[in-house]
Chain A
Amino acid sequence: MPAEVHRIRLPALLNLPRVLQYAPRMVAFIVNGERREVDRADEVPLAYVLRNDLALPGTRLACGLEQCGACLVLLDGECRYACTLPVGDCAGRAVTTVEGLADAERLHPVQQALLDHNAAQCGYCLSGILVRASALFEGNPHPSRDEIRAALAPQLCRCGAQPRVLRALDALSRSG
């Protein structure tokens, strides 16, 4: 039988570096059209703030390295990785997360397209793909198949649902 895991009082073991003693200050920004204020140090990545302070779990954390795209958000309409984006950089600016894509009950066209095509397996990658696709269609309502592929290249999906996502977005590109 293993020993109990000990809870060691921090002062007994080591001391925290100064960087952790961040001085919180209010950061004010717009999230999905609403003004929000958070009591956070500038350095805290936006994804943590969204998920833990603002109850917006749709921005998924999956690598923390800007490699997989699961945490993608729009900052003033531009794609940014929320896993590393300091919340301080968002001050006074507008953030759109996957939760902000739909207009109340009406899904964003890219959401509807993926839903119509059952374009997912586990769905962990979906949020980032949807945000990326919304940005693509915002700038180019009728992207070609290759443009869709190239735009989505930074987004990882490990289940192999990419062909469905491509078909869904291709169909959206041809419609309307």
Chain B
Amino acid sequence: MAAGSDELPAALARHAELDLWLQVNADETLTVRTGKVEIGQGLTTALALIAAHELDVPVSAVRVETAHTGRTPNEFITAGSMSIEDSGSALRQACAHARRLLLAAAADHLGEPAGRLEIADGWISVPGGNDAVSIWVLRGGRPFSYRIETRIEERPPAVPPPRQQRIDLPAKIRGAGVFLQDLRPPELLHARVIRPPSYHHRLVSIEAAGQPPESDLAVHVDGSFVAVTGEDEYAVNRFALRLQARCRWQQQAQLAGEPLGAHSEAFAVVDGTPVEGPVAPLGFAPTLTASYSRPHIMHASLAPSAAMARWDEGALRVWTHSQGPELLKRTLAQVLGVEHRDVEVVHAPGAGAYGHNGADDVALDAALCARARPGRPVLVKWTREQEHQWEPYGPAMRVDMAARLDAGGRIADWSHEVWSYTHLGRPLPGEAGSNLLAAWLLETPIAANVAKPRLGREVGIHRNAWPLYRLPAPRVVKRFVAPGPLRTSSLRSLGAHMNVFAIECFMDELAQLAGVDPVSFRRRHLSDPRALAVLEAAVALAGGLAGNRGVGLARYKNQQAYAAVVAQVAVDEHSATVRVSDLWIAADAGRVVDPDGLINQLEGGAVQSLSWTLKEAVRFSPDAVESRDWDTYPVLRFDEVPEVATRLIDRPESRSLGAGEATQGPAAAAVANAIAAATGLRVRDMPLDADALRRAAAR
């Protein structure tokens, strides 16, 4: 058995009805359902591959339905690189049961013992025999009516796993209207919201002037929530701009918060889990200390967030690209003062989100507009500026490292202290406040929940703060800081980007001090053979670390995929700009389901991390966020993207491990280590841009 456990996958234990997970259709297709969502990570393709493999039907016959409350299994949220581990393992086991039931039915039909039968391409037969029956004939259009109670054996993995074309790609390549933004149901109304200049501004008045036109445009005002609805999108958008210029706001406070490094709530972290109680002081005289930082960074989805809603006699239906439709359903009901059973939330694809962006907020905007114009669907799209200014950012972080080397050049003492603001600002059911933005602006507002430190294993700030290396009694301290100056929440990899950056830079700094090369120094402290294998594979793929190269290594959350990244940089002597020319990635994600999809995620994560690490910082003044568009918040462009090569270490005997966030940290560290190799300058503060290099040179 691939997963090596007798327990049912958790999602399957919660939702044991087989018919909820899959249905064999009379039209020779197979529908599989997931409570997760497609966010560009290739989830639907991977799930189709799992179902096709387990039931031996063509991938092209599989239809994947993503999260739709009341219709698909409730899997809460698509986050933390858990979809293949959660939904994939549940679906695989559900399909194994379906396979067994189909074989039993075929045994009756064909008069052969089930043990002799096999499925191939949807046909069941005794291999080499003449009689066959298709699964479509056996079960097409009829439910299994079967409850899954025990775990049964699954098919052995395909070795090597097949290369599969993304099932959602042909339509996107042709420019089909597949995105939420493209929905055009009859009677559709478009809407724009008008936002205050900052979190801390409230509406005073809206000035009027001129002659009214004949128009279907309507303005909706509730406290400081202002929206325009109408039939023509362009007229709505134009009018919203004019209206915005006529809004008078009052500023009630400035964008300010606790700095990182002063006041904090501190927790000792033991094996990835924070524990309450006093934090031991640094109990050794360090050989080396170093402080690393990153600024606030953005999800900055390519498309501004959008949602559609329709309000019919107290019942609300919402189309969203949120990663947590089931959570959104309950939090919308809370703000709107309706029963959650009267809210239906349907996932529809948006642009890549990379965590908690504006998707949930705009769903509330749409619901408010729909309630004001009942009986018609209302599609709200944020502007670029709104997305940049109002999304919850990936929080700024700071890590202070300290270590003592023994006479033999081994790490004898280790300390890692990490400061940050909350990484968990998602709207969650059951809380007194609301983390949906428009709730704060209403005439009768619902305030945001007060952020509190989360003490789960490997969550938020302390994600990957626990070292991968075998070190004697590492001292790891999580320092939760509140409030921050900006709204923050979950951005892909959460604290791992910064913690891995700090650990892996510090390992290089220590290696240099010990007079050992970076790989040997890491090897000296590694006891996990899988970690060592990816490190060596990445270095081998790169052909060594000589020259302007650096490496970074991590196991995501210390429990998911392993990834090592080697980066090669060129640093311009005059402009001090850094260009990453090449990346080499090696990864071990256990059993590989969709190799090309996995490589795509690893590469995409690394390239996105380069953008964060080299270029990105949310700029803000006391009055407003100043990063408003792609000019004021530049990201990596095509002419700055490196060549990338990736090697997978497939382990068909091990369970599949989430990999969507595995390369963010290692790629960031690899670049900083490569810059150090190229220039001798240790740049510890992101973004690693020309200013940072000059500051490091002046130090």
> Bound complex: CA of A88 vs CA of B694, how far in Å?
49
Given contacts A57-B182, A124-B303, A164-B600, contact A158 B170 (CB under 8 A): no
**Do A163 and B644 touch (CB < 8 A)?**
yes
Q: Which residues of A contact B639 (CB under 8 A)?
A: 149-150, 152-153
A107 to chain B, nearest CB (A): 7
Q: Indicate if B238 sits at the interface (CB-CB under 8 A).
A: yes
**Do B630 and A156 touch (CB < 8 A)?**
yes
**Do A6 and B221 touch (CB < 8 A)?**
yes
> Bound complex: CA of A57 vs CA of B306, how far in Å?
15
Closest to B605 in A: A160
**Do B300 and A14 touch (CB < 8 A)?**
no
> Bound complex: CA of A59 vs CA of B176, how far in Å?
9
Q: Indicate if B697 sits at the interface (CB-CB under 8 A).
A: no
**Do A11 and B179 touch (CB < 8 A)?**
no
Kindly identify which residue among A15, A44, A125, A130 contacts B211, using a CB–CB cutoff of 8 Å. Answer: A15
Q: Which residues of A contact B635 (CB under 8 A)?
A: 156, 158
**Do A159 and B352 touch (CB < 8 A)?**
yes
> Bound complex: CA of A114 vs CA of B354, how far in Å?
22
Given contacts A21-B213, A45-B234, A158-B351, contact A123 B168 (CB under 8 A): yes
Which among A10, A58, A164 has the greatest number of chain B C-beta atoms within 10 A?
A10
Given contacts A15-B212, A20-B215, A114-B173, contact A70 B603 (CB under 8 A): no
B304 to chain A, nearest CB (A): 7
Given contacts A7-B218, A48-B233, contact A1 B179 (CB under 8 A): no
Given contacts A63-B629, A65-B630, A158-B352, contact A7 B607 (CB under 8 A): no
Kindly identify which residue among B181, B372, B381 contacts A6, using a CB–CB cutoff of 8 Å. Answer: B372
Q: Indicate if B166 sits at the interface (CB-CB under 8 A).
A: yes
Q: Indicate if A127 sits at the interface (CB-CB under 8 A).
A: yes
B353 to chain A, nearest CB (A): 8
Q: Which residues of A contact B209 (CB under 8 A)?
A: 14-15
Within 8 A of B (CB), among A56-96: 56-65, 67-68, 70
**Do B352 and A124 touch (CB < 8 A)?**
yes
**Do A7 and B220 touch (CB < 8 A)?**
yes
Given contacts A1-B444, A2-B445, A8-B221, contact A98 B607 (CB under 8 A): no
Kindly identify which residue among A65, A126, A149, A154 contacts B172, using a CB–CB cutoff of 8 Å. Answer: A126
Q: Indicate if A118 sits at the interface (CB-CB under 8 A).
A: yes
Given contacts A2-B439, A62-B303, A120-B166, contact A153 B246 (CB under 8 A): no
Q: Which residues of A contact B636 (CB under 8 A)?
A: 162
Q: Indicate if B27 sits at the interface (CB-CB under 8 A).
A: no
Closest to B368 in A: A5
Scoring A residues 121 to 134 as 1 if CB is less than 8 Å from chain B, else 0, what string do you get? 11111110010000
**Do B630 and A67 touch (CB < 8 A)?**
yes
Q: Which residues of B contact A161 (CB under 8 A)?
A: 600, 604, 607
Closest to A14 in B: B208
Given contacts A7-B220, A17-B210, A158-B635, contact A118 B604 (CB under 8 A): no
Q: Indicate if B637 sits at the interface (CB-CB under 8 A).
A: yes
> Bound complex: CA of A61 vs CA of B180, how far in Å?
12
Within 8 A of A (CB), among B172-219: 172-179, 181-182, 184, 206-213, 215, 217-219
Q: Indicate if B692 sits at the interface (CB-CB under 8 A).
A: no
Q: Which residues of A contact B220 (CB under 8 A)?
A: 5-8
Q: Indicate if A52 sits at the interface (CB-CB under 8 A).
A: yes
Q: Indicate if B564 sits at the interface (CB-CB under 8 A).
A: no
Name which of B39-47, B483-491, B548-556 contacts chain A: B39-47
Q: Indicate if A166 sits at the interface (CB-CB under 8 A).
A: yes
**Do A58 and B165 touch (CB < 8 A)?**
no
> Bound complex: CA of A48 vs CA of B181, how far in Å?
12
Q: Indicate if B288 sits at the interface (CB-CB under 8 A).
A: no
Q: Indicate if B402 sits at the interface (CB-CB under 8 A).
A: no
A152 to chain B, nearest CB (A): 4
> Bound complex: CA of A148 vs CA of B608, how far in Å?
20
Q: Which residues of A contact B212 (CB under 8 A)?
A: 10-11, 15-16
Q: Which residues of B contact A3 (CB under 8 A)?
A: 222-223, 442-444
Q: Which residues of A contact B442 (CB under 8 A)?
A: 2-3
Given contacts A20-B235, A118-B166, A161-B604, contact A14 B246 (CB under 8 A): yes
Given contacts A48-B234, A120-B166, A124-B351, contact A111 B174 (CB under 8 A): yes
Scoring A residues 1 to 40 as 1 if CB is less than 8 Å from chain B, else 0, what string do you get? 1111111111101111111110000000000000000000
> Bound complex: CA of A118 vs CA of B42, how far in Å?
10
> Bound complex: CA of A75 vs CA of B32, how far in Å?
43
Q: Indicate if B225 sits at the interface (CB-CB under 8 A).
A: yes
Given contacts A3-B442, A62-B304, A120-B166, contact A162 B607 (CB under 8 A): yes
A153 to chain B, nearest CB (A): 4
Within 8 A of A (CB), among B635-679: 635-639, 641-644
Q: Which residues of B contact A126 (CB under 8 A)?
A: 172-173, 175
B448 to chain A, nearest CB (A): 14
Kindly identify which residue among B219, B335, B354, B604 contacts A2, using a CB–CB cutoff of 8 Å. Answer: B335
Which among B181, B233, B303, B601 has the greatest number of chain A C-beta atoms within 10 A?
B303
Closest to B182 in A: A57
A135 to chain B, nearest CB (A): 15
Which among A2, A61, A120 has the greatest number of chain B C-beta atoms within 10 A?
A2
Kindly identify which residue among A5, A16, A120, A157 contacts B369, using a CB–CB cutoff of 8 Å. Answer: A5
> Bound complex: CA of A7 vs CA of B210, how far in Å?
20
Within 8 A of B (CB), among A133-158: 148-150, 152-158
B252 to chain A, nearest CB (A): 19
Q: Which residues of B contact A67 (CB under 8 A)?
A: 384, 629-631
Given contacts A5-B220, A10-B215, contact A121 B629 (CB under 8 A): no
Closest to B40 in A: A122
**Do B174 and A102 touch (CB < 8 A)?**
yes
Q: Indicate if B242 sits at the interface (CB-CB under 8 A).
A: yes
Scoring A residues 40 to 54 as 1 if CB is less than 8 Å from chain B, else 0, what string do you get? 000011001001100
**Do A121 and B604 touch (CB < 8 A)?**
yes
Q: Which residues of A contact B603 (CB under 8 A)?
A: 160, 163-164
**Do B444 and A70 touch (CB < 8 A)?**
no
Can you name 26 A-B pairs with beta carbons within 8 Å? Answer: A2-B445, A2-B446, A3-B444, A4-B371, A6-B372, A13-B221, A14-B208, A14-B246, A15-B211, A20-B238, A44-B234, A48-B234, A57-B176, A57-B182, A62-B302, A115-B165, A121-B41, A122-B40, A124-B40, A127-B175, A130-B175, A152-B638, A158-B351, A159-B40, A159-B608, A163-B607
Interface residues of A (CB under 8 A from B): 1-11, 13-21, 44-45, 48, 51-52, 55-65, 67-68, 70, 97-99, 102, 107, 111, 114-115, 118, 120-127, 130, 148-150, 152-166
Apart from the given pairs A5-B227, A64-B383, A161-B607, 10 other A-B contacts in the complex at a CB distance below 8 Å: A15-B211, A99-B175, A120-B169, A121-B42, A124-B40, A155-B638, A158-B300, A160-B607, A160-B608, A166-B638
Interface residues of B (CB under 8 A from A): 39-42, 165-166, 168-170, 172-179, 181-182, 184, 206-213, 215, 217-223, 225, 227, 232-235, 238-239, 242-243, 246, 300-304, 335-337, 349-352, 354, 368-369, 371-373, 381, 383-384, 439, 442-446, 596-597, 600-601, 603-608, 611, 629-631, 635-639, 641-644
Q: Which 7 A-B pairs have the closest CB atoms?
A: A58-B175, A122-B40, A160-B607, A160-B604, A57-B177, A14-B208, A98-B175
